[in-house]
Amino acid sequence: MSRRPPSIRRRLTLRLLLASALLAGLLFIIVINFARSVAQVSQDNILEASVTSILESASVQKGRVGIDIPYAALAMLGNVSDDRVFYRVSVDDTHLTGYPDLPVPDGPPDDHGRRFETADYLGDEIRIVSASRKLARDGHPVWVTVSVAQTRGGLQNILQVIWRNAAFLGAGFFAIAAVLVVTGAQATVDPLERLAASVSRRGPQDLRPVEAEVPVEMEPLVASLNRFIARLSTTLAQSEDFMAEAAHRVRTPLATVRAQAEVAMARMDKPENRASLGDMIRALDESSRAASQLLDHAMVTFRTDQLEHQPLHPHELIEETVRRLQPVAGLKDIAISVEAPRDVELVGDAILLQSAFGNLLDNAIKYSPHESDISVICGPCPGESTAEPRDFWRIQVIDQGPGFPTGTGKRLTKRFARGSNSEGTVGSGLGLTIAEEVARAHGGRLEIGRNPEGDGACVSLILPVS
């Protein structure tokens, strides 16, 4: 199972969302607790006021502790809600009035001597406050204790409303935070995405340093990218020099040796010596050709990345190549006819186009029988312009040889691929590769077919006008 690579945006979003959710939850809990304690304090205050006013009404008359519960003392509790109110008064430990079984808080008293408690009474939760006051009866101190309790229904109702509002508040907080998180995470990865887009938009030949403005954290990345690009351009420039140098160093001595071998052969009389010199010359031809093609191919690969765009006339290019290969064709009595209009102008790399066309013509000569004809036809390419708005030109090389082996198709344009008909002919399987790469680098293509007028091959270089 392949794992998806981690995404900065997703990670950042998830973490911040989690943090926002925690904060929203915390906010909710704080609000609820605060509201609960405020509500509790206000209920406690009323209960306390009630207890105080009842306590104050206690007095000793005729040696008896009496209490006259003021109306307001209990009414103030009833005002708040429909909650039930209970009270109880005792003198020392003797029950005086009210609900005798009302529990009395036994916790420590607060600063004002009040005790508060929450308890269950008659099936309801109640809040009780109690306080004591010392009275003097017959010269002896007595303690009057008053407890007032109230059910907590009203308080729960208020808390429920607050709970709902706090939940809305928390959810709203989370929603706003989520929007900020998503936009924030996007803003964080924006410069990264912009950099990636600007680098991947570049053409293969664009080796300028990256100048996009990036945040400080990304500067080391851009700096190393630029150092890498600089190293690459230096290496490429060095390889170009190397290729030119190598081509020169390999071809020149081979040509010298070949010339010497021919001179020597002319001086030889013995047929066996002549035969071995002939073999040597053929081997020299073969290696010089292979070396040339390998270097040509390397040169084509390199130059397609740095294509030159010069205006050029295809008929000049064709005629020059034909002139160069005429001697080879002459050896097989092959006639080459050229049909190329003079007013056509293409834009492209003359060295590459010459190499491509040269390879096609070389193939035609190699694979043609003696005393046959090769025609080179340059003309507009009808139908092509409907697919693309540009005009295309076609340079066709037609021979009368055996044609391409059936079923080989595009396979022969692969590097080092040779057909079944190539046995006994010198070659390295790079000719069609070079031609196709050159065509593609110019925005055109290579077409392989049969001679429309009988036996033979027809290979076309199709190139856009500009």
Q: Which residues bind Mg ion (CB under 5 A)?
A: 363, 427, 431
- 28 is in the binding site of which of Mg ion, ligand ADP, none (Cβ under 5 to 8 A by kind)? none
- Which CB, 98 or 403, lies closer to ligand ADP? 403
Of positions 403, 436, 438, 446, contacts ligand ADP by CB under 6 A:
403
Does position 357 interact with ligand ADP (CB under 6 A)? The reply is no
28 vs 24: CA distance, rounded Å? 6
| Smallest separation (angstroms) from ligand ADP to the CB of 435 | 8
Does position 399 interact with ligand ADP (CB under 6 A)? The reply is yes
- Which CB, 73 or 365, lies closer to Mg ion? 365
Q: Which amino acid is at 286?
A: E
255 vs 419: CA distance, rounded Å? 28
- 181 is in the binding site of which of Mg ion, ligand ADP, none (Cβ under 5 to 8 A by kind)? none
Q: Binding to ligand ADP (CB under 6 A): which residues in 315-344?
A: none
- 39 is in the binding site of which of ligand ADP, Mg ion, none (Cβ under 5 to 8 A by kind)? none
Of positions 47, 299, 457, 462, contacts ligand ADP by CB under 6 A:
457
324 vs 368: CA distance, rounded Å? 18
- Which CB, 147 or 428, lies closer to ligand ADP? 428
**Angle in degrees, CA 156, 162, 165, rounded to 5:** 145
- 429 is in the binding site of which of ligand ADP, Mg ion, none (Cβ under 5 to 8 A by kind)? ligand ADP
465 vs 443: CA distance, rounded Å? 10
**Distances in whole angstroms, Cα of residue 176 to Cα of each of 28, 77, 180, 229, 314:** 15, 42, 6, 44, 67
305 vs 237: CA distance, rounded Å? 12
**Angle in degrees, CA 336, 338, 343, rounded to 5:** 165
- Which CB, 154 or 369, lies closer to ligand ADP? 369
307 CB neighbour count, 10 Å cutoff: 15
Those residues whose C-beta lies under 8 Å from the C-beta of residue 215, and which sit 6 or more positions away, are 191
- Which CB, 151 or 359, lies closer to ligand ADP? 359
Q: Which two tokens stand for residue 362?
A: 């070389």
| Smallest separation (angstroms) from Mg ion to the CB of 294 | 12
Q: Binding to ligand ADP (CB under 6 A): which residues in 410-449?
A: 412, 418-419, 421-422, 427-433
| Smallest separation (angstroms) from Mg ion to the CB of 442 | 20
Nearest residue to Mg ion on Cβ basis: 431
139 vs 31: CA distance, rounded Å? 53
- 367 is in the binding site of which of ligand ADP, Mg ion, none (Cβ under 5 to 8 A by kind)? ligand ADP
Nearest CA among 394, 375, 392 for reference residue 447:
394
Binding residues (CB under 6 A) for ligand ADP: these are 359, 363-364, 367, 399, 401-404, 412, 418-419, 421-422, 427-433, 457
